[in-house]
Chains A and B, each alone.
Chain A
Amino acid sequence: MKPEPTPTPRMPAANAPCKLPPPLFDARCKACWLTAALLVLVVASFWSLDLQWAQFLSLDAVASMGRFLAEFFPPDTSPDFLRKVAVGTWETLAMSTLGTLLAAAGGLALALPASRMHTGDTARARAPTRLLLNGLRSVPELVWAGLLLIAAGLGPFAGTLALAAHTTGVLGRLFAEALENAPPGPGAALRVQGVGRLRVFLYATLPQVLPQLMSYTLYRWENNIRAAAVLGVVGAGGLGQLLAFHMGLFHMGKTATVLGAMLLLVALVDALSYGARRLMTR
């Protein structure tokens, strides 16, 4: 039997012992593999979609595209129709505003059970409420509108509810984060005084996070104006409904006017929000 080799006492190495570098593709090519996978995805996408390039890029198609665009001119600017477009624009604005307000209320109501207000709060409803918020959020406004048309009928009411449903999910999540990140001091001070949970929230937590909640709400309002403009194409009121209606009947002049109003509205909102942000951060 061979004697057991006596282990030689060694100083621990100052640096980690030298190892061979891992195989090449493993070492630096994680990104390469990902890029290759992305390329495969892109090629497969184009290959499987049988896009009608021929129909789109042929001389014939270009001519028909030109005719189509030419039909937009002149836009219909009769006072009657302009009044109709103005009503549509107002409806769009009202839908987005009311939808956002409803969503702010609903989001706050759902954010309370969805957040752990203080350490030691069991917050049993946190996980299920967050699941609900995720569900509300991951269905887009337009799909909500399609679903709600069944219950609420055609018109702006369905659109308002659809905006409210999606935005409740978004705002509820953001509000819950804001509530959880609020400084705990004032709330704790009230709590040790024996103040109830509702009043701790109203007088300590809410005033601290209110500016943040307002800015989230304003941000979503801006998004919702844009969303409300197109929501109507499934029949949920506002400018979109006018657009879909006149485009369906090939009233190209009227379509052009509605499109112009839509773009103007979006540009106005963009400019206002840009200006406001500039003013506030200066």
Chain B
Amino acid sequence: MHAAIPAPRSPGTAPQRDPAWLGRVFLISALAVALWPLLVATEFKPWALLDARSLAVTGQFLADFLPPAHGADFLALVARETWRTVAMATAGLTLALVLAVPMSLLSARVLSVSALSGRMARGPFWLRQGVRWALIVLRSVPELVWALVFVRVVGLGPTAGVLAIALTYGGMLGKVYGEILESGDTHATEALLRNGTSRLQAFFFGLLPQNAAEITSYTVYRWECAIRSSVVLGFVGAGGLGQQLDSAMKMFNGGEVVTMLAVFVALVALANRVSAALRKALA
């Protein structure tokens, strides 16, 4: 039986006193004091937004948003650049796989033969550790920095973007693949290795079937991320939608900016849907 719920009191009769107000006031003022240097460092001046000149420029830019640019030529350009963005992400991720799969195989402790009997031998141990460090270095350089470097080496254009995605995502995928391979149950793999299969056989017949679903789903998820970051890479001159967006912003062309932003948001939403459907179908 439920206890009888008391009838609601009329509003305003509940006690008004806050028993903890002193602590709250203290906490908030301490935070405000701690925040001060941050405000100075970031030149936090919200009134700069309300400056008459800045308001005029912003107002002009925002007024340009309507109507969005919709000329046939422009839409064709946007469609072409959108495809380029997707293609950059796909090609980059493919190259990342080429990099990540061998490296994760090299770094997986599960596939060590010497570790079956006691400790791993010294040579293989340092090889695995070295590959891990290489993956960490690849991963921890942001793709934007890779892109900046490659734009210098191979010039403006999608090649720089593809290479940047390949290196950063290669590091990420390699590291996560390694973790996935080692996280599961390793009995089957171990049994195969003990019975004298080669490491590759043990991988294909023991380790891979066990972890294929997880690996595929992570890869598809990363493809989705790569689409997002290939737009960002365009801002440093790696082609695609981002580069057009950047130049439209620099020209204060509000109509083109709003069209491309809308296309970009739609593209991300679409990639999200496709990746969710793919993960469901391939799992």
Contact = CB atoms under 8 A, between A and B. Distances in A.
Contact of A138 (B38, B43, B88, B268): B268
A140 B153 contact: no
Interface string B245-279: 11001001000010001001100110000000010
Interface in A223-256: 226, 229-230, 233-234, 237, 240, 243-244, 247
Interface stretch (B4-12, B68-76, B192-200, B201-209): B4-12
Interface string A149-174: 11111011101100000000000000
B58 A150 contact: yes
Select the residue from B39, B42, B49, B140 with max chain A CB neighbours within 10 A: B42
Contact of B232 (A44, A142, A262): A142
Interface stretch (A73-81, A175-183, A193-201, A208-216): A193-201
Given A226-B142, A267-B140, A233 B148 contact: yes
A140 B232 contact: yes
Nearest to B44: A157
A4 to B, nearest CB: 47
B153 A52 contact: no
Interface in A82-139: 90-91, 94-95, 97-98, 101, 135, 138-139
A51 B159 contact: yes
Interface residues of A, number: 68
B281 A30 contact: yes
Contact of B42 (A30, A56, A190, A237): A237
Interface size class of B (residues with CB under 8 A): 35 or more
B152 A68 contact: yes
Interface string B126-159: 0000000000000011101100110011110111
Interface in B197-256: 228-229, 231-232, 235-236, 242, 245-246, 249, 252
A159 B41 CA distance: 12
A276 to B, nearest CB: 18
A263 interface: yes
Which secondary structure dominates where chain B touches chain A? helix
A75 B142 CA distance: 20
Given A91-B42, A94-B37, A194 B88 contact: no
Contact of A194 (B9, B49, B87, B242): B9
Given A68-B153, A153-B48, A193-B9, 17 more contacts: A31-B282, A42-B91, A51-B162, A55-B159, A61-B154, A95-B42, A98-B35, A98-B44, A143-B231, A143-B261, A147-B249, A150-B249, A151-B54, A155-B43, A157-B42, A233-B144, A243-B148
Interface of A: 30-31, 34, 41-42, 44-46, 48-49, 51-53, 55-56, 61, 64-65, 68, 90-91, 94-95, 97-98, 101, 135, 138-140, 142-143, 146-147, 149-153, 155-157, 159-160, 190-196, 199, 226, 229-230, 233-234, 237, 240, 243-244, 247, 259, 262-263, 266-267, 270
